[in-house]
Amino acid sequence: MTMFRRRRPDDWASEHERAGVLSALDLVERLPSSDAAWLSDHLLDCSTCRELAAAYAADRLLLRSLRDTAPEPPRDLWARTAAAIEQEAGGADRAWRLPRIGRVPLGAASGLLVVAVVVGVTLFGKTPPETAVVATAPPVTPGPDATPGSTPLAIPPNQVAWVQKNDLGTYDLFVVGFDAVCSVDAGAECAPIDSSAGKSVELSRAPGSVVLSPTAPQIVVVDVAASTTGGSVFIVPVPTPQPSFDPSATPSPTPIATPDPTPPPDPTPTPQPTPPPSNEPSASPTGSPDATPDVTPAPTPIPIADGAVAIISDVIVVGDPAYSRDGTWFAFSARPADGSAGPDIYVWQAGNELARPVTFDGRSVFTGWIDDLVLGSRAVPIGVTIIDLGPTPSPTAPPPVVTASPPPTPSPATGPGSSSSPDPGLSPAATIFDGVAFVLDPATGASVDLVGSSWRPVVDPSGRFVVSWEGALLVDGTGVGWGLGEGRLVLDAWIAPERPQPPIDPDASPSPDTGSPAPTSSAPAPTAPASVEPSSSLDPSASPSPVVLRTVLADGPVVDFDARWDPTGTRLAVWIADPADPKIGSLRLFVVDPDTGVLSASEDRLDGAPALRGFSLERGRLAWITPPGQDGEGSRLHVVAWTLDRFGTIESRPGSELIVLQ
Amino acid sequence: MSALSHDARNLPFGNGALLRRGRAVSATWDRGAAGAFVEVLFGKHHGEIYAYLYRMVRDGELAADLTQDAFVKAYKAYDTLEKPENARAWLYQIAHRVALDELRRRKIVRFIPWTGESRGSSPSAEHMAMELRLSGDLERALARIPERQRAALLLNELHDLTGLELAAALGVSHIAARALLSRARGSLRQALTEERAADAALESTTIEAGER
Q: Across the interface, do A25 and B181 touch by the CB < 8 Å criterion? A: yes
pLDDT, tens digit, for every residue of A528-542?
333 333 344 555 444
pLDDT, tens digit, for every residue of A482-539?
888 888 888 888 887 888 887 665 554 444 443 333 333 333 333 333 333 334 455 5
The C-alpha of A558 sits at a distance from chain B's nearest C-alpha, in angstroms, of: 7
The torsion angles phi and psi of B184, rounded to 5 degrees, stand at: -60, -40
Q: Across the interface, do B133 and A69 touch by the CB < 8 Å criterion? A: yes
Q: Across the interface, do A88 and B76 touch by the CB < 8 Å criterion? A: yes
Mean pLDDT, range A294-316, rounded to an integer: 63
Q: Across the interface, do B181 and A95 touch by the CB < 8 Å criterion? A: no
Q: Is the ipTM of this complex over 0.90?
A: no
End-to-end CA distance of chain B: 53
What CA–CA distance (Å, rounded) separates A553 from A550? 10
Q: Calculate the alpha carbon distances from A171 to A160, A167, A202, A221, A250 in Å.
A: 16, 9, 5, 12, 24
Q: Across the interface, do B14 and A113 touch by the CB < 8 Å criterion? A: yes
The C-alpha of A402 sits at a distance from chain B's nearest C-alpha, in angstroms, of: 22
Judge whether B30 and B4 are in contact, CB under 8 Å.
no
CB-nearest partner of B186 from A24, A557, A596: A24
Q: What is the pLDDT of residue A503?
A: 67
CB-nearest partner of A28 from B72, B165, B182: B182
pLDDT, tens digit, for every residue of A369-421?
988 899 999 998 874 434 333 333 333 333 323 223 333 333 333 333 333 33
Lowest mean pLDDT among A147-161, A440-454, B23-37: B23-37
Query: What residues of chain A lie within 8 A of the CB of B63, using their CB?
Result: 71, 73
CB-nearest partner of A95 from B31, B46, B188: B31
Residue of A nearest to B132 (CA): A69
By CB neighbour count within 10 A (0-12 exposed, 13-18 middle, 19+ buried), where does A132 fall?
A: exposed
What CA–CA distance (Å, rounded) separates A209 from A362? 22
Closest CA to A248 of A375, A159, A367: A159
Q: Among B7, B57, B182, which would you mutate to test the A interface (most chain A Cβ atoms within 10 Å of its Cβ)? A: B182
Mean pLDDT of chain A: 68
Closest CA to A103 of A75, A82, A73: A82
pLDDT, tens digit, for every residue of A64-98?
888 877 788 888 888 888 888 887 776 433 333 43
Query: What residues of chain B lie within 8 A of the CB of A454, using their CB?
Result: none
Query: What residues of chain B lie within 8 A of the CB of A552, using their CB?
Result: 5, 7, 10, 160
The phi-psi region of residue B182 (left if phi > 0; otherwise alpha if psi is between -120 and 50; otherwise beta) is alpha
Residue of B nearest to A27 (CA): B182
Judge whether B152 and B100 are in contact, CB under 8 Å.
no
Single-letter residue type at B205: T
The C-alpha of A382 sits at a distance from chain B's nearest C-alpha, in angstroms, of: 16
The C-alpha of A602 sits at a distance from chain B's nearest C-alpha, in angstroms, of: 9
The C-alpha of A73 sits at a distance from chain B's nearest C-alpha, in angstroms, of: 6
pLDDT, tens digit, for every residue of B170-194?
988 888 888 889 899 999 999 988 8
- Within 10 angstroms of residue A592's Cβ, the number of other Cβ atoms is 27
Closest CA to A372 of A327, A308, A402: A327
From first to last of its 212 residues, chain B has per-residue pLDDT tens of 333 333 323 322 222 222 322 232 233 446 667 787 888 889 889 999 999 999 898 888 899 999 999 999 998 888 788 777 788 989 999 999 999 888 887 765 443 333 333 333 344 444 444 444 444 788 888 888 999 999 999 999 889 888 888 888 898 888 888 888 989 999 999 998 888 888 778 777 777 777 66
Q: Collapse the DSSP code of A7 into the 3-class scheme (helix H, G, I; strand E, B; otherwise coil) and give the result.
A: coil
Instruction: Assess whether pLDDT exceeds 60 at residue A321.
Output: yes
- H helices of chain B, in order, are 13-25, 31-57, 60-76, 87-108, 125-133, 137-144, 147-153, 163-170, 174-211
Query: What residues of chain B lie within 8 A of the CB of A577, using their CB?
Result: 3
Query: What residues of chain B lie within 8 A of the CB of A573, using their CB?
Result: none
